[in-house]
Chain A
């Protein structure tokens, strides 16, 4: 019974949460209240873990909440149910897109979409930059301009950026190197 509920509920979330992983959180919090599968506190913990482990946040959250509701199998089932609607929808869109790729109207739509998507990606890039390099909380308390910057990350960023451009290693190595540096410098 609980497996059926999990399938149904996560399929529904997959169908209605538009705009990426974080859009699933309001749905999950409602689920927790309605079925008692997990508390709001557990949800907060789940968000923290999902953000600090690799993988899309929406997927991590689904696996986690499914696990809390009905163990391992629940976790797998919840995740598969979550992605089922988007697989179906995207396959349909992909077929249509393939057929009408040369269509002028589709071309015109994507002509507007590409700069817009670049702008949206730039916004999330700027947000990541600001949490990594600026400490606005401390600055608003002390008003000391030096407190505004996370100096060590900025220095590491500059060195690594030019190093990466010069040596062009695979992104995965850069991630591993940075993780090691983070532990080494106690960032």
Chain B
């Protein structure tokens, strides 16, 4: 059984190495949660992200709550979530109390520009993996392209796109079922 300590440490690691927030943590989640601990599958993660996108709160936190809950119930959810925020609290409190011009230091800027390359590599890998597991048929491909273009070309809020695709998925399954029962 997963221990509370394991949950806390794993999510602290994810919190401490997520740069850029939100989806940039996906590669680490894949590595730690899916491959290493096998607490969730690739598809599960997708589902958590989808829910996190339409519920209030920070995506990283919501994902931690989900996984913690499924592993060890309510206390597990709370511990995993505290794990993901602990590095942030420590780092920000340190920076806020000793150096306020942190982001203007040249060395910090160089390191961050380097880290951005790492984030590009990791996120490219993550997206390729995700694409394979979530876009499986023509319907998925069309929906993927449609949402991608809508997100680029329109100013529609993300939550609207998520709800729209849920409705489309529902409608498509309904039509498919009707057709197969008519045959």
Contact = CB atoms under 8 A, between A and B. Distances in A.
B124 A63 contact: no
A1 interface: no
Nearest to B65: A90
A129 B120 contact: yes
A115 to B, nearest CB: 4
A55 B17 CA distance: 7
Interface residues of B, number: 106
Contacts of B115: 175, 178-179, 182
B110 to A, nearest CB: 5
A89 B57 contact: yes
B interface, over-half SS:
helix
A42 B152 CA distance: 31
Contacts of B84: 56, 59
Contact of A17 (B57, B117, B122): B57
B17 A120 contact: no
Interface in A45-80: 45, 48-60, 63-64, 67-68, 72, 75-76, 79
Nearest to B140: A115
B112 interface: yes
A151 interface: no
A interface, over-half SS:
helix
A93 B18 CA distance: 25
Given A20-B21, A112-B166, A116-B50, A14 B56 contact: yes
B27 A171 contact: yes
B50 A89 contact: no
Contacts of B33: none
Interface size class of A (residues with CB under 8 A): 35 or more
Given A83-B57, A118-B127, A49 B92 contact: yes
Given A54-B17, A55-B15, A179-B114, A83 B122 contact: no
A157 interface: yes
Contacts of B143: 112, 115-116, 119
A108 B169 contact: yes
B113 A187 contact: yes
A183 B28 CA distance: 23
A56 B74 contact: no
A94 B110 contact: no
A34 interface: no
B121 to A, nearest CB: 5
B181 interface: no
A172 interface: yes
Contacts of B124: 125, 129, 161
Contacts of A160: 117-118, 121
Given A56-B21, A56-B58, A180-B114, A116 B96 contact: no
Interface of A: 14-22, 45, 48-60, 63-64, 67-68, 72, 75-76, 79, 82-83, 85-87, 89-91, 93-95, 97-98, 104-105, 107-125, 128-129, 131-133, 153, 156-157, 160-161, 164-165, 170-172, 174-175, 177-183, 185-187
